[in-house]
Amino acid sequence: MPLQPKSATVPNGVNMSAAFIAANSAVLDPNHTGCVNLSGGFHDAGDHVKFGLPQSYAASVLGWGMQEFPQAYQATGTWPTGWTR
């Protein structure tokens, strides 16, 4: 990816300012190619997790299960005491 800030004239640029690029060029472009090597998951710092959709789906299914089949949750002891529908 070209190591240039995104703008109207450079729509495929990076979302970094020119000052940030200049201050960190030794790390961003160690080979002085003018590009950022994004292979290997450069942008994945742990904040873009891939379990969000499966996790929300599982929570939704459990919630609907509690709504539709409360007796099954009560029978297994997983329905909190004192909860009512």
Residue 42: what pLDDT? 46
Identify the three-state secondary structure at position 47.
coil
Q: Could you tell me the pTM of the whole model?
A: 0.43
Q: Where are the alpha helices (DSSP H) in 1-85?
A: 18-23, 25-28, 52-68, 70-76
Better pLDDT: 52 or 68: 68
In tens, the pLDDT along 15-46 reads 888 899 899 988 888 888 888 877 765 455 56
In whole angstroms, give the CA distance from residue 54 to residue 72.
23
Mean pLDDT of all residues in the chain? 81
